[in-house]
Structure 1
Amino acid sequence: MIGAEYPNGKNGLRSEASFDTITIKNKVIAIRIQLTRGMFIHKFRYQNGNFELIGFTSVNSDGLGTMSEDDFNLSTGIKYVKAEHYATEKVLFNRKEKKLIRPLPKLQEFVPFEKDL
């Protein structure tokens, strides 16, 4: 979703969430959404007659010194979840999870600014 009237925010100031970029690399479309303290990246590939979500990355800060990152490969079901204190680089947690989502979400179902799968 790109706000036609204020694509870079009203008076040049971005709101809390905004469309950032779309890139195509190795036949994968990546849609990046910029947040006030982080970003989402949704990755889609054309397969099975649709553009299917194959990857999702979320990076955000709590504004109090903790940076969190989720990196989810939907094709394999492997999700890495990590949090660290960015001043000290002390890792608060780092874990690997497995969660298969079938069928894979489609680009037609994509909702910007959301991280729910």
Structure 2
Amino acid sequence: MKNYIVLSAISFLFGFSLLGQNKTDLEKSKLFEKVKNTHAYRESYVQKTDTSFLKNKNNYTYQVREEFGDLNRDGKMDKLTVKMDTLDETNPLRLEIFLSQPTGKLSLAVCSDKIIEPQYPAEKLGKYSGYQIPDFIIEKGILKMWSEIKGGNITYHFKYNRGNFELIYVEKLTNNATKSYVDENTIFTETKFDLVTGLRTDTRDKLGSAKVLDVRKKRVLIRPLPKIQDMKFSDKDLY
């Protein structure tokens, strides 16, 4: 490309000299230098633009969630944010957790782009996921993440332990409705899974009924406990 532009400039000057024999060599030299400088400026501009684009490839700049609370039980306020990349057509979301330091400053402890589903997943070909962005609550040192799922919702409970946020408890509520509404025949299933003890309890009942249909208990041990930075939004199907 460089050679092409320089050759074009030379051709231009050569043609110019044929058409205007009155131009002095000094004038031609100045014109040639002007063309080279213009090319150098354009090349520099493109390079800077390309570099800027690469640096800002992940533009998680639009904040949609912010929560404060003591997560590591040191008596100081920690911070959680969820930000969206609005330049990416899938609108991915990034979870970040900042822990307070002895200096009073906040330090990034967790960063995950996987645990929250993009608003317009690639597999849905540009269509909305159908689920709102999860809510987060910090309560008594426990980080709770509430998310919508098909036919209900799921809540993860995370606890800070030795530098990691581990999944210790899962609450899940689903129903078997096949239409856009529930009625007296709709069966709800409530799942409570204590990952620390491994006890999982599934309770089924009908809407408006005081009688429980059935309760099922089983023990499922997961070791090591899942860490928040390793979890994906599709993990909701595992619990």
TM-score bracket for the superposition, by shorter chain length: 0.7 to 0.9
Q: Offset at 1:92?
A: 1.9
Q: Out of 209, 215, 219, which is 1:98 matched to?
A: 219
The secondary structure found in structure 2 opposite 1:93 is: strand
Alignment RMSD (CA, Å) = 2.7
Alpha-carbon offset, residue 36 of structure 1: 5.1
Name the structure 2 match of 1:116: 238
User: Would you say how many aligned residue pairs link Structure 1 and Structure 2?
Assistant: 113
1:58 aligned to 2:172?
yes
Using the size of structure 1 for normalisation, the TM-score is 0.79
Comparing 23-32 and 92-101, the one that deviates more: 92-101
In structure 2, C-alpha distance between the alignment counterparts of 1:65 and 1:90, rounded to whole Å: 14
1:1-117 pair list within 5 angstroms: 16-35=130-149, 37-63=151-177, 65-112=186-233, 114-116=236-238
Larger Rg: 2
- Higher RCO, 1 vs 2 (CA within 8 Å, ≥6 residues apart): 1
Alpha-carbon distance in 2 for matches of 1:2, 1:81: 34
User: Hey, which of these two has a bigger chunk of helix by percent?
Assistant: 2
Q: Distance in 1 between matches of 2:131 and 2:228?
A: 19
Deviation, 1:39, is 0.3
TM value normalised by structure 2? 0.42
Higher strand content, 1 or 2: 1
Aligned partner letter, 1:116: L
Describe the SS at the equivalent of 2:229.
Answer: helix
Structure 1 gaps of 5+ residues are none
The C-alpha deviation readout for 1:61-111, integer Å capped at 9, x for no partner, is 111510001110111111111111113343221122211111000000122
CA distance in 1, matches of 2:153, 2:84: 17
Residue 233 of structure 2 aligns with an amino acid whose one-letter code is P
Q: Distance in 2 between matches of 1:27 and 1:2?
A: 23
